[in-house]
């Protein structure tokens, strides 16, 4: 008997002028409970984006989302639904994965320049469930396999994360807010 609950992911958070779509695998328990992306207090996503995109990491959630969108960054997940025990990607039952309708969503983003997968599971799931479904015009879009910002990936320090994630910046163009 299967005792893993079916989880349903969060709504997409991107504007029509999205240039980089950041894709996680499936939000963890803290994020699902809060209804917010990267809600676990030790997840390094928001502090990392705040440094790279020059906004206040402590701002209210809706302000942080607006700042991402202002800079051309969108958020979603590869997985729409799955079964998982706990929060770890390794606990996702592969045979339960239902992908989000990313090909259709991406086709409606005329300024999209790149996809950034937040972690290995997101990238593997992208390759398994989405890449082959893309229309020809999107198949040459760069897909960046970036290290996970999850606290479970503590082996990668903040400096290495920042260096790796800086790969999204050329796809965004100039960030018009000064540091500070």
Contact, 171 vs 19, CB < 8 A? Answer: yes
How far are the Cα atoms of 43, 116, 164, 174 from residue 159, in angstroms, in the given order?
Answer: 15, 18, 9, 22
Do residues 67 and 45 touch, judged by C-beta distance below 8 A? no
Tokens of 94: 């592969």
Among candidate residues 116, 121, 125, 108, the one with its CA nearest the CA of residue 161: 116
Q: How many C-beta atoms surround the C-beta of residue 83 within 10 A?
A: 18
Q: Phi and psi dihedrals of 23, rounded to 5? A: -120, 125
The three-point CA angle 65-69-8 to 5° equals 55
Q: Could you say which of 43, 100, 118, 153 is catalytic?
A: 43
Instruction: Evaluate whether 160 touches 65 at the Cβ level (below 8 Å).
Output: no
Is 100 labeled as catalytic in the residue annotation? no
Known catalytic residues are 43
């Amino acid at each position: 008997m299967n005792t893993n609950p079916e989880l349903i992911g969060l709504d997409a958070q991107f504007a029509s002028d999205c240039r980089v779509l950041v894709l996680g695998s499936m939000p963890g328990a803290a994020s699902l409970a809060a209804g917010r992306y990267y809600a676990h207090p030790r997840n390094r996503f928001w502090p990392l984006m705040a440094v790279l995109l020059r906004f206040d990491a402590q701002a209210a959630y809706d302000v942080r989302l607006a700042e991402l969108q202002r800079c051309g960054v969108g958020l979603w997940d590869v997985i729409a639904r799955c079964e998982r025990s706990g929060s770890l990607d390794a606990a996702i039952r592969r045979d339960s994965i239902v992908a989000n309708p990313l090909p259709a969503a991406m086709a409606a983003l005329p300024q999209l320049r790149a996809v950034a997968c937040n972690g290995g599971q997101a990238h593997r799931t992208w390759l398994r469930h989405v890449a082959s479904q893309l229309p020809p015009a999107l198949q040459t879009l760069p897909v960046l396999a970036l290290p996970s910002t999850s606290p479970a990936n503590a082996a990668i320090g903040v400096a290495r994360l920042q260096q790796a994630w800086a790969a999204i910046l050329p796809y965004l163009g100039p960030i018009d807010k000064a540091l500070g």
